[in-house]
Structures are given as C-alpha cells and as structure tokens.
Structure 1
Amino acid sequence: MKESIVPVSLALGSGIIMAIPNLKVNLQSKLNWDNQASPNYIVLGDDYLRYAPTVAAYALSACGLKSKHRFINRSVILALAYISSDFVVNTTKNITKEARPDNAANNSMPSQHVALAFIGATFLDHELGYISPWISVGGYVTASYVAYVRVARNAHWTNDVLMGAAVGMIMTNATYWAYDGVMKLFPKNLTIAPVIDPLQSGIYLCYKF
C-alpha cells in the first residue's frame, strides 16, 4: 500500500539512527534545548497537542464537513487504532527498556506521545483529507511539532519519535484497511466495536443472521 511508504521509511530511519554509534547522542545534543530548570521555561504544549488532530477531525465534522465514515464507524476505527498502537508501543518499551535522554525512566522507545499524535493526524487525513490537502497538512504538521518537542524537551531520542510516528501511522492505516475490508464482506450484518474497562480491553463482535 502506498500509505506504508512514509511510515516504513520513518521506521527504517529510526533503525539507522540506532545502528550508527553515537548518532542518536549527537542528534540529541543538536536538537535538545530543554530549559525546565530555567525561570523562563516555556510550556510547549505537547501533552495537549498530541490530541489536537483527533479533536480537529471531530470538530470539523461537527461544523458540517462530511467525514468518509459515519460517527460510530470512525469512532470504532479510532478506538481500535488506539488499542493496537498502545499494545505495540508498550510491548516495545518493555522489550527495549531504553533509557530516556534525561534518565527519568527506561521506557523511551518508542514515543507514546508521538504515536498518539500521528494516529490523530492519519485519522484526520483518512476522514477529511479528501476535502482539502491542507487539512491533512495541518494534522501532520501538528503531529510533527509534538515529535520535535519530545526531543527538544529531552524526553525522547530522535529514533524514539520516528518509530512512534511509524507505529501510529501503520496501526491506523492497518485498522482502516481491516475494518473497511470486513465491513464490505458483511455490510449490514456485522457490528464491530472496542470494549474497554479498567481491567481489560478487547473487541465486541455481533453478527445478525
């Protein structure tokens, strides 16, 4: 799929950075401008902006722009993308146990913030990007800003944010592909929805004969 070209390239870039000795450290020294100890510290907004593309998708739809999927369908797709991405991100974090640049924790690889931001940007692109390419550009620019800030704040290495972006995009594209494929086979008989509670998460399937 052509949608795979960019995220696969990002994942390869992440791997190259990890493979070349000292490259990630050198990149960090160039890009990091963390100033949390400074009295002039600026809040960069990454904790909030990671959700901005998703919020924009629903807000624009509420303002009258027609999304490609109905509200319930796109909400199910988004939830499934979040669940699958969260599984991949946390599994990878537990396997790699990479220390963050600021040594705050050993769960740096990949960036959850960036994965969430790129899920939202890809979701926005799928649902409303057909109306204007600038809608898609806005989502991806916002997600890219979140990625940059995670490095600038010394919370992640460059390879972490590249891999986070790749995971977010790949899992969202895969969810659209799988969901639309299944719904074409059972357009009126099958209901698919995520099930999430404090103890577990899963998928609810209901088929009407």
Structure 2
Amino acid sequence: MSLKYAVLAALLEGEASGYELSKTFDVSLANFWPATPQQLYRELEKLAQDGLIQARVVQQERRPNKRMFTLTEAGREDLRAFAATPPRRPTAIRDELLVRIQAMDGVDPGVTRAQIEERLTWARAKLARYERVRERLLDGRSEDEYLGEADRIGPYLTLMGGIGFEEQNVRWCERALTLLERRAALARRG
C-alpha cells in the first residue's frame, strides 16, 4: 500500500491543510501508517495532479497563505475501491529494536536494558495519547453509544488497533526487562 490511501482516508474527516493532515497523522494514523511532513506534502501534490483531491488557497493576513485539501468524487471512488479490496498479504513486523535484541548477546546488558526501557517509555506515551484521543472521540458517551451514533467508526476501530499494539509493546517490554533481570541474577549467583 502506498501513502496515497492513508492520505485519502485522512481526508474523509473533511477539508484540511497540509499542516492539519500532518498533525492528524501524528495523532491517529501514525499507529498504523507513519509519514514525515515532507512525504505528506509530496503525496498531496501528486493526489491533486491525479484529480483525487482538490486544493484551494486560503488568504491569510499575518501568515503565508495556506492550501486546504478536500477529496474529490474520483478520490472517494478510488478509496472505496481500495477499501473493498483485500490486502495482498498479512502485516509483517519490521522493527529495528528486535534486530538489535536478536544480536544482543555479547553486548553490555545495560545497553540492551536501556533500549528496551526507551521503547517502554515511548509505548506508554503513545498509549496515553491514544487514550486521550479515544476520550475525545467518545466525548462523554459510552462505547456502545458512540458506535450507535457515530457516522463513521473506522477511526475508532483503527484507534483500538493502535491501543492494542501499544499495550502489547508495554507487555513485551516489561516481560523482556523481567527476563533480563532474572538472567543477571542467575549470573551473579553462578
């Protein structure tokens, strides 16, 4: 899949500037499809050229003018066709930390622990941010009320996927740190 469909899906929420889309990616889409602002702006240009989104310029007095983007009907059709097509293959984990952990033997255990602790800190921070987004989406409603009333539930379902992913990261980090400590204790005794 290309960034194209993640951008089109983000625009389902309504008109947005490149800056606003960048923030949307940071908060909600980054849990399953990260993108840098530069990648995002390049993709917006390409999508506009392809007629899948439309751009309009908003004049601003004290700041540079900004471009606002919306989905065109062609963009909606392309996105619907994409959503109806099953993925080619299941997701595979590509994680640099796991490669480092695989090769950790012979490395100072403190370095490995520090890397896992850093991942744990990041995972907890993302989890807290996702929970704040969830509270904002629910807006005081129960999950059942939200699911019955919301026009679109895709953002909520993907958010739940991100929460589950970060919860698993936290569990793995905590378990890995426990096992590293246990191994260090056994080495001290032996």
Which structure carries more helix by proportion? 2
Q: TM-score, normalised by structure 1?
A: 0.30
Quick check: which has more Rg, 1 or 2? 2
Higher normalized contact order (CA 8 Å, seq sep 6+, divided by chain length):
1
Give the structure-2-normalised TM-score: 0.32
